Amino acid sequence: TGKCYHTFRGHSAEIVCLSFNPQSTLLATGSMDTTAKLWHLEKGEEVATLSGHSAEIIALSFNTTGDRIITGSFDHTVAVWDVGTSREQNLLIKMPKNNDVVAKYELVGSMDKTCMLWDAVAGTHIATLAGHREEVLDVCFDYAGQRIATASADGSARVYNAETKQCIAKLEGHEGEISKVS
């Protein structure tokens, strides 16, 4: 119908990323104000504010069960948050200062043209996926966790086998950057 159900207000700066939880009951927003907020979709109300980053939150995503949310920030960190308590559970990654971070659960795409796969519980590096000619702007797993997709400023997307870490498809044809992949 095109009807607007709710307008969510509360951030003090631009919202640059958002994600629905798997149950479609919550919406998470990340902002230039250094916070992420959780919103109840039915009630249209703020549930929690996730504070802890010292710079803009530029990427966020729920895990597959919806009990954790991962945020990536220009402060060069990726944080894991407990959705129920709204508390930071783990500072997953501290990147070198010359890399700007774009984060997804267990995946980190970077200005260094790579995507890194991490163990989110242990905080350990598993693999680095390379091949792009420009920075990686977005990354994601498929719903089965068998493939990893990357989007790049070089105008291409790539698909990797999550088990072997090999590139199985190069998607080319855009004339400009690809900023999102799903």
In a domain, 177, yes or no: no
Q: Which domain holds residue 123?
A: 15-135
The residue type found at 173 is G
Its sign, for the CA torsion 152, 31, 72, 36, is: negative
In a domain, 172, yes or no: no
- pLDDT of residue 100 exceeding 50, the answer is no
Give the separation between CA 75 and CA 80, rounded to whole angstroms: 15
In a domain, 88, yes or no: yes
Beta-bridged to residue 15, according to DSSP, are 31
Q: How confident is the model at residue 182 (pLDDT cuts 50, 70, 90)?
A: confident
In a domain, 8, yes or no: no
Question: For position 96, what pLDDT does the model report?
Answer: 43
Q: How confident is the model at residue 90 (pLDDT cuts 50, 70, 90)?
A: low
* CATH label of the domain that carries residue 65: 2.130.10.10
Rounded mean pLDDT of the chain?
84
In a domain, 179, yes or no: no
Beta-bridged to residue 17, according to DSSP, are 30
In a domain, 91, yes or no: yes
Per residue in 35-63, pLDDT tens? 999 999 999 999 999 999 999 998 888 88
In a domain, 182, yes or no: no
The total number of structural domains in the chain stands at 1
Which helix (H) or strand (E) is 140 found in, with range?
Answer: strand 136-141
- pLDDT of residue 102 exceeding 50, the answer is no
In a domain, 122, yes or no: yes
Distances (CA, A) of 87 to 51, 70, 103: 9, 12, 18
The mean pLDDT value for 62-78 works out to 85
Q: Is this model's pTM higher than 0.85 or not?
A: no
Question: How many percent of the chain have pLDDT more than 70?
Answer: 86
Give the separation between CA 127 and CA 80, rounded to whole angstroms: 20
Q: What angle do CA 141, 145, 149 make, to 5 degrees?
A: 30
Q: What angle do CA 99, 103, 109 make, to 5 degrees?
A: 55
Helix segments in 36-154, DSSP class H: none
Question: For position 34, what pLDDT does the model report?
Answer: 95
Q: What angle do CA 48, 180, 61 make, to 5 degrees?
A: 25
Lowest mean pLDDT among 5-19, 47-61, 65-79: 65-79
Give the separation between CA 65 and CA 181, rounded to whole angstroms: 20
Q: How confident is the model at residue 103 (pLDDT cuts 50, 70, 90)?
A: very low
Q: How confident is the model at residue 105 (pLDDT cuts 50, 70, 90)?
A: very low
